[in-house]
Amino acid sequence: MNAKIAATAHSTPKKILSNFDLEKIVDTSDEWIRSRTGIKQRYIVENGEASSDISTKIAEQLLEKSKISADEIDLIIVGTVTPDHYTPSTAALVQKNIKANNAWGFDLSAACSGYIFGLETGSNFIRSGKYKNVMIIGVDTMSSILDFQDRDTCVIFGDGGGGAILQPTKEKCGIIDSILHMDGNGGDYLIVPAGGSRIPASIDSVKNRSHFIKQDGKTVFKYAVKGMAEVSKRILIKNKLSGSDISLFIPHQANKRIIDAAARKCGIEEHKVLINIEKYGNTTAGTIPIAMNEAINEKRINDGDYILLSSFGAGFTWGSMLIKWDSTL
């Protein structure tokens, strides 16, 4: 038995923050941002919007597209580093909102790798034979942890997410393979220092702006280029495939230069690489599911296609996943 993707969806807030808007907030320019990242704009939430609100919209779309009822959902996994609360989980809030009365679930924290890690986790629940409908969501409201005085981070990230319904299949399709990694030695290079048990919230932690995300951009860039490129190449070799066999490469949308390097390493032609970072920025766990749903809507994915996913994120976490597409329900 294998796990296949039966439906996909994505959602973003309505508010757009352009590079020109950021020019009025922080010392930056449209040219500087585009030349270094490829980003032109990003979506950000209004006051009062949170990750569970975006996730609920995704979940409702998934139910409609997969033609199943909320009561048929067995498990909900939400990959996020920006939950509404430390507890309850965002998964619990989604379960309540869509009235998935028979589902249990949990949040998964793997930053930009959250969606791939979630797909791998959910697919193994499917393979156990005990679960028939597993909902996977990758979502982040990064604006909630951005310091808009720090141009090295606030220009990169956006808010949004996407998701999928996993179902069992006996065909040789669906999630074929994955290679996942983590290296905690890289933790300090991309971190929200305060707010957890190490540095609880205090007057000093707020004054020091320690509840915002901090990044050593050059170091993260170096490791991301190496990690995404190598793990993507390895999964192709492992499955006796080459770049020419891949119909679509959907990488984490962190930086166009990182994406280009990974594609070159795998020998994947430019027209087979999905890049939408210019519209959304880096939505962390949301980038890959947003891109995948866009690709389906644009009919860039067809039955029998090999789809390659690749990610790199805080932790460090990184990985790749190989999917053979089958759209039949």
Catalytic entry in 173, 252, 255, 266: 252
- 176-276+287-324 homologous superfamily: Thiolase/Chalcone synthase (3.40.47.10)
Sheet holding 306-313, edge to edge: 174-182, 317-324, 306-313, 246-251
pTM: 0.96
Q: Given pLDDT bands bounded at 50, 70 and 90, which one contains residue 327?
A: confident
Give the CB-side neighbour count of residue 57, counting CA atoms within 13 A.
Answer: 14
Q: Where in the chain is the domain with CATH 3.40.47.10?
A: 2-172, 176-276+287-324
Q: Which amino acid, 125?
A: F
pLDDT at 329: 54
Residue 193: CB atoms within 10 A of its CB come to 16
- Cα–Cα distances (Å) from 300 to 293, 295, 325, in that order, read 10, 5, 11
Q: How far apart are CA 268 and CA 266, in angstroms?
A: 5
252 catalytic? Reply is yes
* Amino acid in the structure at residue 160: G
The pLDDT > 90 percentage for the chain reads 96
Closest CA relative to residue 69, chosen from 103, 106, 100, 105: 100
Beta pairing partners, 312: 318
- Which tokens sit at 76? 């909900």
Cis bond upstream, residue 88 (ω within 30):
yes
Distance (Å, rounded) from C-alpha 247 to C-alpha 77?
27
- The catalytically annotated residue of 2, 19, 133, 282 is 282
Catalytic-labelled residue, pool 2, 19, 112, 293: 112
- CATH 3.40.50.10860 matches 2-172: no
Q: In the annotation, is 181 catalytic?
A: no
Q: What is the pLDDT of residues 2-42, one digit of tens each?
A: 999 999 999 999 999 999 999 999 999 999 999 989 999 99
pLDDT band, residue 212 (cuts 50/70/90): very high
Contact 95, 105 (CB under 8 A): yes
Task: Say how far apart CA 192 and CA 86 lie, in whole Å.
Answer: 14
Inform me whether the pLDDT recorded for 328 exceeds 80: no
Q: What is the pLDDT of residues 68-109, one digit of tens each?
A: 999 999 999 999 999 999 999 999 999 999 999 999 999 999
Closest residue by Cα to residue 320 from 288, 296, 272: 288
pLDDT digits (tens, 9 = 90+) for 263-293: 999 999 999 999 999 999 999 999 999 999 9
Rounded distance, CA 254 to CA 101, Å? 36
Please confirm whether the linkage preceding 249 is cis (ω < 30° from 0): no
The closest alpha carbon to 164, from 129, 110, 126, 111, belongs to 126
**Radius of gyration (Cα) for the chain, nearest Å?**
19
Local confidence band at 174 (pLDDT 50, 70, 90 cut-offs): very high
112 catalytic? Reply is yes
